[in-house]
Structure 1
Amino acid sequence: MSRLRKLGFLTIGLFDEADPAAGHETTLRMIELGERLGFDSAWVRHRHLQFGISSPVAVLAAASQRTSRIELGTAVTPLGWENPLRLAEDLATVDLLSGGRLNPGVSVGPPMHYDLVRDALYPHSADLEDFGDERLERFLRAVAGEPVPAWKGTEGFEVFSDRVQPHSPGLRSRLWYGAASLGSARRAGKLGMHLLTSSVVRAEGSSDGFAAIQRRHIDAFREENPTGRVSQGLVVVPTDSATPEQRDRYFAYAAARTPRTAAPQGPAGMLFARDLVGTSAEIAEQLQAHAGYQAVDEVVFALPFTFRPEDYEQILTDIATKLAPELGWVPATSPVG
């Protein structure tokens, strides 16, 4: 098992419906804090019709102007909600604004609760939309700068390109795939993407447990793409500098979520990982015994959904200054206290 080489964190960007601007500002300040602490990357989730970030590209555009080094990612953008060409334009623009720091992660499949949102999202083409590989491949071609329309040239005073503009040459090499199944992990490798694993996998009939299943996904990806990057994302909450009140809330949060980890959930058989709460030494020991963690040298630790800004500051600080060094990580810059 190699030392931890890259450290990232993931946030949903929670906000109050009555004051959404404050929540978005909190997210931007967390990303700024992450850069000061030496984190290698900051990632935002994508939530539609919920009280979390619905437009991560816009948020990361703002973050790109308030940071200078930290990489910025989406984990993940569901392509079922997106027009692949338009998304490619937006991502290329933000990548250029950030100086090539963008790491977009995407997923395929129908939008969540599609039967409820289809008429609002695709009123005239709901039955025609392809939410699988064809949509993903259109997106990959657009990002790569392959021809989109069959025509380019000048019309009057206007000049038209046959590929997405602006074009960011390195962006295609920084695309990630959020995979929860063995097949999707293999697909990510075949497409030359990087692999984002998270705290949920499809059991697919296996009773081996979360860590063993996740390890099989990582191994299958690497069979297809030996040089591709793999990042593991688990909910990790160190308590080293937490107050007694914070510790009590953190453990209560994890305890309330533990029952769902006992067996696969729902028709899709989704299996959830346990949240890791405790001292940095305790969490490091659990990670080092985790079959999925043993196969990676990058992590994007997920922050719990419903905590307070001061909680996130404490958790991020403990991760960067206590937990990650236990795992062999060296900060990108000298962390601040």
Structure 2
Amino acid sequence: MPSTPRPLRKLGFLTIGLFDAADPARGHESTLEIIELGERLGFDSAWVRHRHLQYGISSPVAVLAAASQRTRRIELGTAVIPLGWENPLRLAEDLATVDLLSGGRLNPGVSVGPPMHYDHIKQALHPDTADAEDFSYERVRRLLDFVRGKPASDFSGVEGFEVFSDVVQPHSPGLGRRLWYGGASLGSARWAGEHGMNFLTSSVVKAEDPHGEPDFAAIQLGLIREFRAHHPDGEAARVSQGLVVIPTDSASPAQRAKYEAYAAERLPRTASPQGPGRLLFAPDLVGTSEQIAERLQAHAAFREVDEVAFALPFTFEHEDYVQILTDMATNLAPALGRRPAS
């Protein structure tokens, strides 16, 4: 296993894309402007998070289709699409379409499990099959097969004037190698590795050992090593880490106070595993780029990744995100040994 930190190779960011219910168009436009800014600043990737029945992006594939036409270089990802809301065949069609529109820049991240508040929405989401739906890894496997070109139908050929394919169309070569699984458990990390996916690990992990020390960095490191131990590419398998990072180099005094209050309010949940799922949260990293770089370089899991998608806080204003992203690109990235992409 690596004994020295991996050089930071890819710098990305993640946004939830919040909007005002009274003016949702402006919120979506703000997200697109942030992605455009990310490309100008030299970020390698921009990721959007999926939110259903909330005031955040509910259709990330549509948003990224728009972003693909307003950018040229930056990779576009989802972190993550919960597949319990999706039909894998239809999603495969949408993902391939957007990947082609973007010139092969799409990085779809997915996860499985029952949809949040399923008992309240199952009759609207799956009215005829609510109790029979399979929310296991099988749902991911189906998506992988369709994206990678395995047959979706036992019929192909010409019928009248129409031509039919037995595999999902359009097919986008290479997309199958850019599928990510967002996981917080050892089982998820292992499954993603065994199926040749890439692995997204965020600021939330599962403290699965009830007798173990709830050390976030150590648990996350274990996920990364479990994933790579079961991936065909071994140590070269792609992992992206997504901690909440808020540099304050160019922040105003009011912004710094807001950022520190935000992190302080969320800090208690990091002290011990939360809920029946024993979810363990990482502290938000707030400070100068030099201070954040020092903390990251001492983070056991960060030392074994060479890609990051730093998460933007949920509830800040557009100008706050501009300041944070600018400081990430111009101050934090160099402090971590990475030069902006050309």
Alpha-carbon displacement from aligned partner over 1:140-187 (angstroms, at most 9, x marks no partner): 100001111111011111111000000001100000000000110011
One of 286, 299, 317 as aligned partner of 1:290: 299
Native 8 Å contact 2:8 2:337 kept in 1: yes
Please tell me whether residue 38 in structure 1 is matched to residue 13 in structure 2: no
Native 8 Å contact 2:192 2:198 kept in 1: yes
One of 189, 214, 225 as aligned partner of 1:219: 225
Letter in 2 for 1:152: S
Please tell me whether residue 312 in structure 1 is matched to residue 326 in structure 2: no
Native 8 Å contact 2:47 2:77 kept in 1: yes
Please tell me whether residue 74 in structure 1 is matched to residue 78 in structure 2: yes
One of 198, 204, 208 as aligned partner of 2:202: 198
* Partner SS state of residue 107, structure 2: strand
- Using the size of structure 1 for normalisation, the TM-score is 0.98
- Using the size of structure 2 for normalisation, the TM-score is 0.97
Aligned counterpart, 1:91:
95
Structure 2 gaps of 5+ residues are none
One of 264, 268, 271 as aligned partner of 2:273: 264
Aligned counterpart, 2:125:
121
Structure 1 range deviating more: 131-140 or 42-51: 131-140
In the TM superposition, what are the counterparts of 1:161-200 in structure 2 within 5 Å? 161-200=165-204
One of 138, 146, 153 as aligned partner of 2:150: 146
Alpha-carbon displacement from aligned partner over 1:206-252 (angstroms, at most 9, x marks no partner): 32410000000000001011132000000000000000000000000
d(CA) in 2 for partners of 1:18 and 1:62? Answer: 22
d(CA) in 2 for partners of 1:301 and 1:105? Answer: 15
Identity of aligned residues (%): 73
Q: How many residues align?
A: 333
* Partner SS state of residue 172, structure 1: helix
Letter in 2 for 1:24: H
In the TM superposition, what are the counterparts of 1:203-282 in structure 2 within 5 Å? 203-204=207-208, 205=210, 206-225=212-231, 226=234, 227-282=236-291
Displacement of 1:136 after TM fit? 1.0
One of 136, 141, 154 as aligned partner of 2:140: 136
d(CA) in 1 for partners of 2:277 and 2:77? Answer: 27
Please tell me whether residue 2 in structure 1 is matched to residue 6 in structure 2: yes
* Partner SS state of residue 265, structure 1: coil
Please tell me whether residue 12 in structure 1 is matched to residue 21 in structure 2: no
Please tell me whether residue 28 in structure 1 is matched to residue 32 in structure 2: yes
Native 8 Å contact 2:214 2:280 kept in 1: no
One of 34, 53, 56 as aligned partner of 1:52: 56
Aligned counterpart, 2:163:
159
d(CA) in 1 for partners of 2:100 and 2:42? Answer: 22
Aligned counterpart, 2:116:
112
Letter in 1 for 2:283: R
Alpha-carbon displacement from aligned partner over 1:33-91 (angstroms, at most 9, x marks no partner): 00000000000000000000000000000000000000000000000000000000000
* Partner SS state of residue 299, structure 1: strand
d(CA) in 2 for partners of 1:133 and 1:283? Answer: 36
Please tell me whether residue 326 in structure 1 is matched to residue 332 in structure 2: no
Alpha-carbon displacement from aligned partner over 1:79-132 (angstroms, at most 9, x marks no partner): 000000000000000000000000000001111111111011000100111011
Question: What is the CA RMSD across the aligned residues, in angstroms?
Answer: 0.6
Structure 1 gaps of 5+ residues are none
d(CA) in 1 for partners of 2:198 and 2:151? Answer: 24
